[in-house]
Structure 1
Amino acid sequence: MPGAPAGASGDGAADARTPRLTIGAVLAALRGDFPDVTISKIRFLEGEGLVAPQRTPSGYRKFSRADVDRLRYVLTAQRDHYLPLRVIKEHLDALDRGQPVPGGPAAPTEAPTEAPTEAPTEAPEDVPAAVAGPMEAGEFARAAGLTPAQLADCVQFGVLAPDADGRHPAADLPIAQAAAGLARHGIEPRHLRVFRNGAEREAALVESLLAPVLRSRSEDARTRAGEQLAELAALSAQLHRALLEARLRDLLRP
């Protein structure tokens, strides 16, 4: 089993629980061990009650080092032990009560890892809860690092889809920021249709697998479907990354 979340007790516990990290800093702290983790994944785990960051008066999330260790425990349990979120939550609840993990003792607590206090420039920034809805095109472009022309091209080629009022959902920021990063390497929005088409095919495959559950009116069934969606998305991203890296390695061979 993965190590228990650090910072629960002992010297430095209070400091470990001080909320000072942005969601971008948390992403940067985790990506070394979990390259496929995303801000959306962290928000999903928060929504499932597996981590509970504090909020500033402006609505920004602030995480402690204990929160980061908790997320690391969840991600390790998913990746290495293929545990569903329901079981991981039971383990965390047991650890919070100071009890052994169901089915066996918890592994020794690891020393907490210092997370960076600032997010890297390429990491998506958190969006205040008050403005987590649609964003005006100019604000969205600035947050993503896109020029207005690049944003217009992303819309033209189907990479981004504004609403009827020309606003963009804040949830699309990771897509836009990735497009901005690729543009810096000479990959223009018109080249991104291959990514969009691939994502649509993958989404259709996942939908066909989960369609019966998604049509269910049972709250438990839909909760399980949400867990499966998150896990399938992570595995799909892992496979995509591995296949792409393998192909790119071939290009470097003599």
Structure 2
Amino acid sequence: MTGSNGSVARRWGAADPDDAGVVPAARAGRGQQEDSADPLMSIGEVLGHLRVEFPDVSISKLRFLEAEGLVEPRRTPSGYRKYTWAEVHRLRYVLSAQRDHYLPLRVIREQLAAMDRGEAPAGAPSPRPPLVAVPAEEIAPVSPAPETPPRVRRAELLERTGVGEDVLTDLERHGIVAADGGWYSADAIDVVTVAGALAEFGVTARHLRAYRTAADREVGLFAQLVAPLARSSNSATRARAAENVRELSALTQRLHAALVRIGLSDTLGR
């Protein structure tokens, strides 16, 4: 990957044309060198394709990965980003490595650099997917995912999670989940879904209080660590704060799982 991090980083301070929304595909600047069989996509179109597999990805996340030198979209004279399918595959590799293997960006960057040199990096999460050029007319339009998390009322929450009213009431009584003005967020849906699955093993809301307490302590710790970055007026710095929280969360999940395995080794006869 050729380095353009300095030029990319300098762009963060200025207004970004991509903030205006999805614009029609255009071929200009570096994009003029592309063959018509390798269509250029706007950042919104790329986001729509990626969200099929990575629902939480956002435009700010894509900009952050660009600032970190992991992907280098072309730019039109007006400053709009334009991505090829090769760059979409690269983004998919990065997001998969983060989500499925908890790899930090430093390691992912090293793996990508090795693949750019034609090498097979040790510890790579999966082989590099084949880069298939798809004619623009064959690309089905993808509707972007909602920008804000879905919110549901109590009745829909119960229907979507399959838990009973008594289970939800117990979760609320123990402070595991709470409504906001009668609405439950997407994260609340996840909490209730997991709590319902745990209930099948005999884990009740009372048992989950320990997880609530541990999570609150993590929130306090992480907030201290990223607060200086999160308060920055620079969007790239704020994106770094969000990325740090993601990596911290992934690392603590791995630590928790390892500690549980160690603690249960005698019980399981290992």
TM-score, normalization: structure 1? 0.57
Q: Which residue of 1 aligns with 2:193?
A: 177
Where do 5+ consecutive residues of structure 1 fail to align?
Answer: 1-18, 27-38, 51-65, 93-100, 114-127
Distance 1:130 1:207, change over 3 A: closer
Superposed counterparts of 1:22-101, under 5 Å? 26=53, 42-44=55-57, 48-49=61-62, 71-76=92-97, 79=101, 82-83=104-105, 101=113
Deviation at 1:70, TM superposition (A): 5.1
Q: Which residue of 2 aligns with 1:210?
A: 226
Q: Which residue of 2 aligns with 1:59?
A: none
Structure 2 Cα separation of the partners of residues 70 and 251 of structure 1: 42
Indicate which of 110, 117, 137 corresponds to 1:105. Answer: 117
Q: Which residue of 1 aligns with 2:169?
A: 152
2:191 equivalent to 1:191? no
Distance 1:237 1:173, change over 3 A: same
Structure 2 Cα separation of the partners of residues 253 and 220 of structure 1: 49
Any conservation in 2 of the 1:138–1:148 contact (CA below 8 Å)?
no
Deviation at 1:171, TM superposition (A): 2.7
Task: State the identity as a percent.
Answer: 26
Deviation at 1:153, TM superposition (A): 1.0
Q: Which residue of 1 aligns with 2:155?
A: 138
Any conservation in 1 of the 2:174–2:206 contact (CA below 8 Å)?
yes
Structure 2 Cα separation of the partners of residues 183 and 80 of structure 1: 28
Structure 1 Cα separation of the partners of residues 253 and 58 of structure 2: 17
Superposed counterparts of 1:231-246, under 5 Å? 231-246=247-262
Structure 1 Cα separation of the partners of residues 213 and 157 of structure 2: 23
Which amino acid in 2 is paired with 1:194? A
Deviation at 1:172, TM superposition (A): 2.0
Structure 2 Cα separation of the partners of residues 68 and 248 of structure 1: 40
Any conservation in 2 of the 1:210–1:225 contact (CA below 8 Å)?
yes
Which amino acid in 1 is paired with 2:171? C
Structure 2 Cα separation of the partners of residues 215 and 111 of structure 1: 37
Structure 1 Cα separation of the partners of residues 119 and 187 of structure 2: 36
Q: Which residue of 1 aligns with 2:8?
A: none
Structure 1 Cα separation of the partners of residues 58 and 146 of structure 2: 16
Which amino acid in 1 is paired with 2:193? Q
Any conservation in 2 of the 1:140–1:170 contact (CA below 8 Å)?
no
Give the paired residue count.
182
Deviation string 1:40-65 (CA, Å, 9 cap, x unpaired) is xx514676237xxxxxxxxxxxxxxx
Q: Which residue of 1 aligns with 2:241?
A: 225
Which amino acid in 1 is paired with 2:168? L
